[in-house]
Amino acid sequence: MELNTNQLKFLKINQFGESYSASLVDNKEFEIIKGYGSTVVEAINDMHDNLI
């Protein structure tokens, strides 16, 4: 299954070389929390771990 991040309205994904960041953003694109990883899924999981 492929992850289509375009369908996630409040999630911003950035790629920096071979690493990724995932940010939860509000309506004005202000970053609320951020996670990092070597894949998009790892970055989302890191962001989720930071919420807990």
Q: What is the pLDDT of residues 1-52, one digit of tens each?
A: 576 767 778 999 999 999 999 999 988 989 999 999 999 999 999 999 988 7
Question: Residue 18 and residue 29: Cα distance in Å, rounded?
Answer: 24
Distances (CA, A) of 23 to 11, 18, 41: 6, 17, 12
Which pLDDT value is given to residue 9? 83
Gyration radius of the chain over CA positions: 10
Burial class (CB in 10 A: 0-12, 13-18, 19+), 46: middle
